[in-house]
């Protein structure tokens, strides 16, 4: 094989030629870099259009470039011209892109001969970026589960979305961001029992450059499981009546209704009722019974009732009737009818026949009571009329339930 050698006399010339080649290469690279638009990014999205912006080349090779060419591609391989804009323009809006889809965009600075529709001088392509139109909206939000301090809900897929932003609040105005997620079912904890919440889901098409094309928001409502209610300790059952008016109070901020059960003194269920009110009138009461009621609130979750806890059993006692008030030796003896289920009776006295103006003067385990001390420690005397009322009462697990006050009886 013949060896290639370079004589000592030719080395200086070789060095000069090598330097020229290096300078030419460096010059080409610098020229290409100076003609490349930079910072290409998406700045806005709509249903069928996107907006991109960029920074024009810092040096445009002696102002030879008069246009920016914009191209699009569906696969980042096959590119299609979308048009030209003036070289001084730094943004463009591309239309006619299918909703909820992504494309790729690139641009380059060129010298374009408009008369002959010909590029005379090419610049360097920018980096290609992914752009996206906004996805379709979520068609609805459905609560699927409820607990005391958490809610679970889901939503159908939004066409074109690859993730979702979720917000929750006690009102529309104070809904706060919870999470950005790719799934479509979420449990949110740390809520208040017995409350309702507004939730918002925003579908997103996220690009590789982390641009979020936000779709239209969708709102829904969710509820935590309600707290137990408190049944009144004095339920209205007039003597001789078949009707008992039960009432209860609820501290829940959101409830869809109540279920109640009424039992007789033999623990037989006499009624099971759903109502949206905080009261119920039972119309089949019998005088030889007393009745118990328990109530639980409920919310509707995905077409089914989700119940809270039962209240404590509350008791309804018939109103007693004063049968006599006799006076002798500055003492008054009051008698009344027995009430089924009563454990004892409270006796009230006052100068007026109104329970609100009377004071409780004693308790009896029988159906009679003897007294000489009445309201404000006044003594029973022969020249002063005193009124008396009686309430039946029953203790259930430490809670005292009473009947309505009897009609007033009086001395003298």
pLDDT in tens, 172-191: 999 999 999 999 999 999 99
Same domain, 269 and 348: no
Pairwise CA distance, residues 108 & 61, whole Å: 14
Cβ atoms of 146 and 302 closer than 8 Å: no
Cα dihedral 113→114→115→116 (10° resolution): 60
- Round to whole Å and give the CA distance between 106 and 100: 20
Please give the DSSP secondary-structure letter assigned to residue 77.
Answer: S
Do 105 and 53 sit in the same domain of this protein?
yes
Look at residues 58, 37, 40 and name the one whose alpha carbon lies nearest to residue 122.
37
Give the separation between CA 107 and CA 92, rounded to whole angstroms. Answer: 11
Indicate whether 41 and 121 sit together in one domain: yes
- Give the residue from 315, 340, 360 where a domain finishes: 315
Q: Is residue 18 part of a domain?
A: no
Same domain for 185 and 260? no
**Whether the predicted pLDDT of 399 surpasses 80:** yes
Same domain, 307 and 332: no
Q: Is the pLDDT of residue 73 over 70?
A: yes
Q: Is residue 261 part of a domain?
A: yes
Question: What's the pLDDT score for residue 217?
Answer: 97
SS (H, E, C) 236-257: ECCCCCCCEEEEEECCCCCCCE
**Whole-angstrom distance, CA of residue 247 vs CA of residue 261:** 13
User: Closest Cα to residue 130, out of 196, 210, 55?
Assistant: 210
Residues 156 and 98 placed together within one structural domain of the fold: no
Question: Do both 72 and 94 map to the same domain?
Answer: yes
CB 279, CB 236: distance < 8 Å: no
Question: How far, in Å, CA of 177 to CA of 142, rounded?
Answer: 19
Q: What does pLDDT average to over the chain?
A: 88
What span, in angstroms and rounded, lies between the C-alpha atoms of 218 and 31? Answer: 51
pLDDT of 110: 92
149 plus 127 within the same structural domain: no
The structure tokens listed for 334 are: 């009051």
Rounded to the nearest 5°, which phi and psi values hold at 18? Answer: -65, -40
Asked if residue 390 and residue 372 are part of one domain, the reply reads yes
Determine contact, residues 205/135, Cβ cutoff 8 Å.
Answer: yes
Is 351 among the domain residues?
Answer: yes
Residue 13 above 50 pLDDT?
A: no
Using the 3D structure, point to which of 293, 315, 337 is the last residue of a domain: 315
CATH code of the domain in which 116 resides: 2.60.40.10
pLDDT of 235 strictly over 80: yes
Higher pLDDT, 3 or 281: 281
Token digits for 41? Answer: 């990014």
- Confidence band for 6, pLDDT divided at 50, 70 and 90: very low
Question: Would you say residue 232 has pLDDT above 60?
Answer: yes
> Does residue 365 belong to any structural domain of this protein?
yes
Regarding whether 327 and 304 lie in a shared domain, the answer is no
Task: Look at residue 19 in the predicted model and tell me its pLDDT.
Answer: 33
Query: Is residue 7 one of the residues assigned to a domain?
Result: no
- What's the structural domain count of the chain? 4
357 DSSP 8-state letter: G
pLDDT score recorded for residue 237: 95
**Same domain membership, residue 46 and residue 128:** yes
Q: Which of 157, 155, 167, 105 is nearest to 135 (CA)?
A: 157
Instruction: Please give the average per-residue pLDDT across 147-166, as a whole number.
Output: 98
Give domain status of residue 128, yes or no: yes
Tell me, what's the pLDDT at 23? 33
- Give the pLDDT of residue 244: 96
Q: Single out the residue in 296, 315, 334 at which a domain terminates.
A: 315
> Do 248 and 327 reside in the same domain of the chain?
no
The pLDDT assigned to 352 comes to: 87
**Is residue 300 in a domain?**
yes
Using the CB atoms, write b or e for 120-148: b if 16+ within 10 Å: eeebebbeebbbbbbbbbbeebebebbee
* Conformational region of residue 267, where left means phi above 0, alpha means psi within -120 to 50, and beta covers everything else: left
361 lies in some domain: yes
pLDDT for 213 equals 98
Is pLDDT at 267 greater than 50 in this prediction? yes
Domain that holds residue 339: 322-410
Q: DSSP letters of 93-120?
A: EEE-PPTT-EEEEEEEEEEEETTTTEEE
pLDDT score for 14: 33
* Tens-place pLDDT, residues 78-135: 999 999 999 999 999 999 999 999 999 999 999 999 999 999 988 999 999 999 999 9
Confidence category of residue 377, pLDDT binned at 50, 70, 90: very low
């Amino acid at each position: 094989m013949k060896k290639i050698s370079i004589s000592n006399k030719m080395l200086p010339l070789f060095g000069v030629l090598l330097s020229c080649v290096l300078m030419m290469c460096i010059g080409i690279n610098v020229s290409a870099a100076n003609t490349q638009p930079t910072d290409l990014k998406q700045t806005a999205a709509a249903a069928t259009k996107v907006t991109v912006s960029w920074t024009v080349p810092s040096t445009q090779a002696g102002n030879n470039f008069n246009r920016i060419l914009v191209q699009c591609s569906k696969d980042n391989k096959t590119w299609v011209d979308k048009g030209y804009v003036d070289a001084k323009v730094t943004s463009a809006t591309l239309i006619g892109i299918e909703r909820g889809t992504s494309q790729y965009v690139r641009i380059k600075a060129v010298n374009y001969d408009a008369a002959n529709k010909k590029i005379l001088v090419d610049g360097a392509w920018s980096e290609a970026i992914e752009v996206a139109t906004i996805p379709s909206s979520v068609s609805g939000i459905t609560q699927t589960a409820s607990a005391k301090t958490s809610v679970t809900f889901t939503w159908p897929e939004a066409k074109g979305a690859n993730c979702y932003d979720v917000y929750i609040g006690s009102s529309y105005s104070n809904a706060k961001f919870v999470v950005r997620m790719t799934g479509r079912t979420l449990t949110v904890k740390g809520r208040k029992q017995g409350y309702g919440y507004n939730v918002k889901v925003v579908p997103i098409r996220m690009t590789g450059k982390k641009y979020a094309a936000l779709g239209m928001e969708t709102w829904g409502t969710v509820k935590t499981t309600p707290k137990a209610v408190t049944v009144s300790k004095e339920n209205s059952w007039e003597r001789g009546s078949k009707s008992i008016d039960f009432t209860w109070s609820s501290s829940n901020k959101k409830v869809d209704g109540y279920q109640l059960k009424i039992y007789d003194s033999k623990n037989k269920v006499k009624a099971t009722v759903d109502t949206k009110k905080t009261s119920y009138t039972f119309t089949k009461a019998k005088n030889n019974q007393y009745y118990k009621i328990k109530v639980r609130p409920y919310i509707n979750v995905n077409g089914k009732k989700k119940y809270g806890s039962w209240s404590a059993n509350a008791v309804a006692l018939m109103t007693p009737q004063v049968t006599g008030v006799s006076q002798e030796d500055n003492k008054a003896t009051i008698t009344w009818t027995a009430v089924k289920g009563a454990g004892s009776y409270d006796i009230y006295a006052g100068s007026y026949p109104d329970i609100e103006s009377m004071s409780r003067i004693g308790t009896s385990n029988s159906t009679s009571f003897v007294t000489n001390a009445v309201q404000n420690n006044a003594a029973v005397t022969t020249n002063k009329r005193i009124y008396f009322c009686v309430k039946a009462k029953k203790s259930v697990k430490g809670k005292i339930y009473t009947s309505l006050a009897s009609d007033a009886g009086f001395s003298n």
